[in-house]
Chains A and B, each alone.
Chain A
Amino acid sequence: MSSPDVAALELRGLKKVFTRPAVDDLDLTVRAGELYALLGPNGAGKTTTLRMVAGLTQPTAGSIRVFGVDAVADPVAAKRMIAWLPDEPMLYDKLTPMEYLEFVAGLWGVNAKTARKRAQELLEWLALWEHRGERCEGFSRGMKQKAALAGALIHEPRLLMLDEPLTGLDAAMARQVKNVLQEKVRTGATVILTTHILDVAERMADRIGIIQHGRCWPKAVWPN
């Protein structure tokens, strides 16, 4: 069990080189219980950074600690605390939202009875309960995004990471997603989101880190 003042995410000297460095010697600390926005232009290395934290990409060098757990040495332990929501929802078109949530809960080892109860609460909260018997293939982009968000929340992650969560959503859907994220932070979760729009970052985040060419700008952490 980590101590209460431990950072939710701590990156030190993180590096990822594909054909050229995508993330270059990145240092970043996200405090527990805050909503942190990673701001930067397209191709700055935001997504690659979060993919490394989620265990989807192996870092070339550096360390990743999630609530004190070394995510490179013990990825399974780190993944238990994390939910990752990419800009393209990771859904199964032929499954209904309930079936999807049942599957995700099984992957994260959530007790079946608890998962069933949470699934209903989440779908009601996200206004998808009426659609629980429909396959995701017929959903709009916003509905898919919300179904995927429900999947990310079903195991009650301590660290929720979202890649461009508001892209392609209409105003009402975007507001709903923002409310969900702020509610999660209020109840103690840590949220990190990436965006390339300053306005989104300013409105939602407690702090903003600016990233470009795979590096966090020195002292460019808003509101400092």
Chain B
Amino acid sequence: MIRFLKAGSIPWLLAHEVRLGWRGMDGKQGEKKEGLSAGKAMLILLIGLALLGLVGGGVGLAFLVSEFPLTASPMAALIATGAMGAILTLMLTHAINASVQALYQRGDLDLLMSSPLKPRVVLTVRLIAIAVVAGLLYYILITPFVLAAWALGQPHWLALYGLIAGLTLIATTLSLGVTMGLFALIGPRRTRVAAQVTAGFVGAAAFLASQIYNFTRPRDDEEGASALAELFQSWAASDAFQDGGWGTWVLRAVLGEPLPLILFLAAGLIVFAVTTTALARRFAENAAAAVGDRAGSKPRRVADRAFAAGLTRVMVQKELRLLARDPQLLSQVLLRLLYLLPLGFILFRNAQSGVGVAFGAGAVVIMAGQLAGSFSWITISAEDSPELLRSAPVQQGRVDRAKLYAALIPAMSLTAVALAGLAVIAPLASVVVLIGCLAASASAGLINIWRQKPAQRRDFQKSRKGSLLVGLAEFLVGALWAAATGLAVAGQIWALLPAALAVGFTLMLRRSPEKIAAAAALS
């Protein structure tokens, strides 16, 4: 198709990007295609079940709304606006990460920028790619529902496509604004980390917001309405959500009113067009300046100290140095912990109750397992120079053990903070939790040794995608250790059952040293 388009035009470059994206999905040419393993079959089954659930849920919801049609009310307007706000926030997270990549990841950017293409063309195509990726998930999620609702005589739900399109354009534009703003404020070196941390916080904020009800609801022994419910009622009663108020526009668009929908789409398109035109030159300048980010750190004052001795010591030292010098990676690991905050909050809120402590104990164990899994993946699978290690006169088992120690140091140091908090509330329980944490960390570490697969540090966010089965197994084993610890804290003998299952699942993933070496080898 690309040959029929005018070379150098936006559609031409877009077709080129689509072609690259399409071929990228197919894996590397010449890559060894393996047969359908049990793991892959399980994965296909899980994806099939998820799709079935998605279609079933969508169709079910469509029947529900055809039976009980959505009507305009202040509370419905508030919920619709809130839902759109939440989706926009989540899209923004994705779009910020993508816009950082657009600026920093070279790929073919140097080629494009050194060609006579207008920067506006390059920027527009990059932004369209970001918008497509940011909106794709939501289109997939709503499609079964929208089509079923249309078939059931409610075509106005098709307006959701327009709303999502408008939202993706706004989120994409905002994300570029955030990245470029940070670039201007703090410079190219810090922008990459700062933007990705910002994206993580925005995503975590959306998640924490979804947990506000848990934070604000009365405890079981208290009476009265939730503070959040009262707040919502007061907002719904405000002028904004009454007939004609700005808060009703999203709902009116959903209900099929053309004017709000057109205005929404037009706003997105105008913001998008203005941004690409206004920021094109700045984008080109920033992309060029981003190359300087790779020019390295400032020289440090060198302390000409003695060398460390012994394989384990130098390996641990090297891994800790690499971790400490990669704030972007560290922030990605730590941001995963934000999602455990609500559980921690519930723990401290219900500290007096045994159930609260048991849940909290489980949360700390999950945290320990997640941290150990993340750091183990980084130190073991994401080794920067695997060939150097393989050409060294040491057994791989020794290298892996040293790397596991290196991973457990930061993991257990961070877990110790949570354990210290727990020790204040329930000293005896904290000893049990410590054992649970060690077991969960060891399991996660061993899984990462046995199932290692060469990867790059920058793929950390995608690591669970690269090996979904291992990610799921790691999570399952962590959850089993958490359950065992929670039950042990509650004094239940049943704790032995999930503990035995955790050990069993971990051992099921064991591989022989030869197979590990073969998987770790690049050729």
Contacts and interface: CB of A to CB of B under 8 A. Distances in A.
Interface in B363-390: 384-385, 387-390
A54 B392 CA distance: 9
B182 to A, nearest CB: 21
A163 B296 CA distance: 26
B300 interface: yes
A95 B300 contact: no
A215 B310 CA distance: 41
B151 interface: no
B297 A106 contact: no
A102 B314 contact: yes
Contact of B318 (A95, A98, A108, A109): A95
* A93, A113, A132: most-surrounded residue (chain B CB, <10 A): A93
Given A86-B387, A109-B311, A112-B309, A94 B326 contact: yes
A172 interface: no
Interface in A73-120: 76-80, 82, 84, 86, 90-96, 98-99, 102-109, 111-113, 115-116, 119-120
Contacts of A151: 388
A56 interface: yes
A114 B488 CA distance: 52
A90 B391 CA distance: 11
B493 interface: no
A213 interface: no
Given A133-B299, A135-B297, A137-B297, A107 B307 contact: no
Given A95-B322, A109-B393, A137 B296 contact: yes
Nearest to B394: A107
A80 B391 CA distance: 9
A133 B322 contact: no
A90 B388 contact: yes
Contacts of B307: 102, 105-106, 112-113, 115-116, 119
B311 A107 contact: yes
Contacts of B325: 94, 135
A151 B138 CA distance: 51
Contacts of A116: 306-307
* B295, B302, B304, B521: most-surrounded residue (chain A CB, <10 A): B302
Interface residues of B, number: 38
A76 to B, nearest CB: 5
Contact of B321 (A90, A99, A108): A99
Contacts of A132: 302
B40 interface: no
B515 interface: no
A76 B296 CA distance: 35
Interface in B48-83: none
Nearest to B389: A107
Interface in B382-424: 384-385, 387-395
B313 interface: yes
B3 interface: no
Nearest to A101: B307
Nearest to B298: A134
A96 B393 CA distance: 23
A93 B458 CA distance: 13
A76 B393 contact: yes
Complex A-B, nearest 7 residue pairs according to Cβ-Cβ distance, in ascending order:
A138-B296, A106-B314, A133-B302, A79-B393, A112-B309, A107-B392, A90-B388
Interface of B: 294-297, 299-302, 304, 306-311, 313-315, 317-318, 321-322, 325-326, 384-385, 387-395, 521-523
10 contacts: A18-B523, A90-B387, A91-B384, A102-B314, A103-B314, A104-B392, A105-B307, A105-B314, A107-B314, A109-B393
